[in-house]
Amino acid sequence: MPIRRQPDPAPNGPNFGIINTGHMTGPAQAAAFSQNVSQTNNITNEAVTEARESIEGLRRRLEELRGQYPEVDAALRDLDMINPRLDEPERDPGTLRYMLQNLVERCGGIPNLLTAAQLVQSTVLALLPGS
Q: Specify whether the CB–CB gap between 58 and 79 falls below 8 A.
A: yes
72 or 87: which carries more pLDDT confidence?
Answer: 72
pLDDT tens sequence across 81-129: 999 998 888 888 999 999 999 999 999 989 899 999 999 999 999 998 8
pLDDT of 73 higher than 90: yes
Of 9, 34, 7, which is closest to residue 19 (Cα–Cα)?
34
Q: What percent of the chain has pLDDT over 90?
A: 50
Please compute the mean of the pLDDT values over residues 48-65 and round it to a whole number: 95
Of 39, 28, 31, which is closest to residue 12 (Cα–Cα)?
31
Q: Specify whether the CB–CB gap between 14 and 35 falls below 8 A.
A: yes
Per-domain boundaries in the chain: 10-41, 45-125
Q: Is the pTM of this model over 0.85?
A: no
Q: What pLDDT, on a 0 to 100 scale, did the predictor assign at position 71? A: 93
Q: What pLDDT, on a 0 to 100 scale, did the predictor assign at position 80? A: 95
pLDDT tens sequence across 6-16: 655 555 555 44
Q: What pLDDT, on a 0 to 100 scale, did the predictor assign at position 37? A: 47
